[in-house]
Amino acid sequence: MRITIVAGARPNFIKIAPIIKAIEKKQDNGALVSYRLVHTGQHYDKNLSDTFFEELNIPFPNANLEVKSGSQAEQTAAIMIAFEKELLNHPTDLVLVVGDVNSTMACAIVAKKLNIKVCHVEAGIRSGDMTMPEEINRIVTDSITDYFFTTSIWAGENLIKTGVDPLNIHFVGNVMIDTLYQNLDRITPPSFWEEYKLEKENYVILTLHRPSNVDQEHELVQLLKGIDALVQDKKIVFPIHPRTKAILGESNFDFKNIIMVEPQGYLNFMYLIKNSFAVISDSGGISEETTVLGIPCFTMRNSTERPETISIGTNTLVGTSIIQLRKSYTEFIQNGIRKAGIPDLWDGCASERIIDLLLTK
Ligand code: UDP
């Protein structure tokens, strides 16, 4: 079987790393499977791309479509045009896409129209929020996917509601968590750890990059000021996403506690998360990682496509204003961490299950 693996953005790189390892393990055991890695170039900053390839030992891509930035339509169209040429020049049996970025949807459409089977890893999750570009990407991708690999029973139920044949839905666990387990003994403090006198549990991690939080400069600055005032006795380490940086510009803010740093590589970032007091974020992936690590996470969104991080894990949804965050964070300071667990099959073996299943197709 020939598999073309697509990756375009930071969370994709983290998800494909263990899948590639699982394929290579099968090859070592004599299985007739090969892969071709296509980087669409959706994320191209060193901090968001190359660093992840180096740190997670992901092979150099066989092709880079170099689409770079653009509006939603420009980027999706550029990926489709380039990926169609890629597939015509390099025939394959299966296109494997992960997550919910524009590359996921664009490449799934191109593959399906060329009558190539599509496999979606992290299928079926839904926020119900159609203002999120990711939700549209999820719905379109799942409407043309052949093999659905899910992170929860709930995601499978979402797919069944839309008429997907249950025989094509495979609850395998979470590839993001495979990467976490595979690298926990390699995580390492960032170079600024000493400079800022960071100590275990004496700081909070903050990440924000969703349009609903960062696209209006005034609201973003007010939110940051509110967070700076809320977390009074701790430093707040804020690895700032390029999208957020572009909105804030080069202005110098006089924050008492917030320390702005570059987006972190995976090994430094996971060290920071694992040793933090709490996390404030609008990221989906981070709510999964904090769940597994048992770190309290306050998600600055009105909905989540990962409800198990709330019902089982350590995640609390706090909306996009400082008001609810203040309430939830204050309750947490008063009551401490609530008891939480790890969702079923988030055990580090999802990628092997995926490849085992694909090789039976
Ligand atoms: N991440 C990282 N460094 C950072 C911020 C995030 O390595 O400075 C990793 C982290 O593992 C996270 C993943 O990137 O789960 C994806 O994060 P992002 O918020 O970009 O994407 P989302 O999960 O919201 O789609």
What residues pair up with 239 in beta bridges, in sequence order? 261
Is 209 among the catalytic positions? yes
- Phi-psi map region of 168: left, alpha, beta (phi>0 left; psi -120 to 50 alpha): alpha
Measured in Å, residue 297 CA sits from the centre of ligand 1 at 14
Q: Is any atom of ligand 1 closer than 6 Å to the C-beta of 279?
A: no
Alpha-carbon span 180 to 58, nearest angstrom: 15
Measured in Å, residue 285 CA sits from the centre of ligand 1 at 6
Helix (H) or strand (E) holding 48: none
Give me the catalytic one of 43, 120, 170, 209.
Answer: 209
Q: Is any atom of ligand 1 closer than 6 Å to the C-beta of 210?
A: no
Helix (H, G, I), strand (E, B) or coil at 150: strand
Degrees, nearest 5: CA angle 341-342-348: 155
Q: Is any atom of ligand 1 closer than 6 Å to the C-beta of 308?
A: no
Contact between residue 61 and residue 37 where contact means Cβ atoms under 8 Å apart = yes
- Give the DSSP per-residue string, 129-176: -TTSHHHHHHHHHHHH-SEEEESSHHHHHHHHHTT--GGGEEE---HH
Alpha-carbon span 85 to 150, nearest angstrom: 29
Provide the b/e sequence for 276-298 (b: ≥16 CB within 10 Å): bbbbbbbbbbbbbbbbbbebbbb
Alpha-carbon span 261 to 264, nearest angstrom: 8
Q: Is any atom of ligand 1 closer than 6 Å to the C-beta of 244?
A: no
In which residue are the tokens 């007010």 written?
Answer: 222
pLDDT of residue 5: 98
Q: Is any atom of ligand 1 closer than 6 Å to the C-beta of 76?
A: no
Measured in Å, residue 301 CA sits from the centre of ligand 1 at 16
pLDDT of residue 337: 75
Share of the chain residues as helix, strand and coil, in percent rounded to the nearest 5: 45, 15, 40
Rg (CA), the chain: 20
What residues pair up with 107 in beta bridges, in sequence order? none
Measured in Å, residue 361 CA sits from the centre of ligand 1 at 32
Q: Which atom of ligand 1 has the smallest separation from the CA of 99?
A: 25
Phi, psi of 85 (to 5 degrees): -65, -45
Q: Is any atom of ligand 1 closer than 6 Å to the C-beta of 266?
A: yes
Q: Is any atom of ligand 1 closer than 6 Å to the C-beta of 328?
A: no
What residues pair up with 315 in beta bridges, in sequence order? 297
pLDDT of residue 69: 86
**What does each of the 361 residues of the chain score in pLDDT, given as a tens digit?**
999 999 999 999 999 999 999 999 999 999 999 999 999 998 888 899 999 999 999 999 999 999 988 999 999 999 999 999 999 999 999 999 999 999 999 999 999 999 999 999 999 999 999 999 999 999 999 999 999 999 999 999 999 999 999 999 999 999 999 999 999 999 999 999 999 999 999 999 999 999 889 999 999 999 999 999 999 899 999 999 988 999 988 777 889 999 999 999 999 999 999 999 999 999 999 999 999 999 999 999 999 999 999 999 999 999 999 999 999 999 999 988 777 899 999 999 999 999 999 999 8
Alpha-carbon span 110 to 84, nearest angstrom: 6
- Give the DSSP per-residue string, 174-242: -HHHHHHHHHGGG----THHHHTT--TTSEEEEE---HHHHSSHHHHHHHHHHHHHHSTTSEEEEEPPH
Helix (H, G, I), strand (E, B) or coil at 21: helix
Helix (H) or strand (E) holding 69: none
Q: Atom 19, ligand 1: which residue's CA is nearest?
A: 283
Q: Which atom of ligand 1 has the smallest separation from the CA of 287?
A: 15
Contact between residue 209 and residue 241 where contact means Cβ atoms under 8 Å apart = yes
Residue-range domains of the chain with CATH: 2-174+346-358 (3.40.50.2000), 188-335 (3.40.50.2000)
Alpha-carbon span 299 to 95, nearest angstrom: 32
Q: Which atom of ligand 1 has the smallest separation from the CA of 180?
A: 11
Q: Is any atom of ligand 1 closer than 6 Å to the C-beta of 183?
A: no
Q: Are strands 94-98 and 203-207 parallel, antiparallel or unpaired?
A: unpaired
Contact between residue 328 and residue 314 where contact means Cβ atoms under 8 Å apart = no
Contact between residue 236 and residue 227 where contact means Cβ atoms under 8 Å apart = yes
In which residue are the tokens 């093999």 written?
Answer: 147
Kindly state the tokens that stand for 185.
């003994």
Helix (H) or strand (E) holding 357: helix 350-358
Q: pTM to 2 decimals? A: 0.96
Q: Atom 18, ligand 1: which residue's CA is nearest?
A: 283
Contact between residue 348 and residue 174 where contact means Cβ atoms under 8 Å apart = no
pLDDT of residue 164: 98
Residues in the chain: 361
What residues pair up with 35 in beta bridges, in sequence order? 3
Alpha-carbon span 204 to 263, nearest angstrom: 15
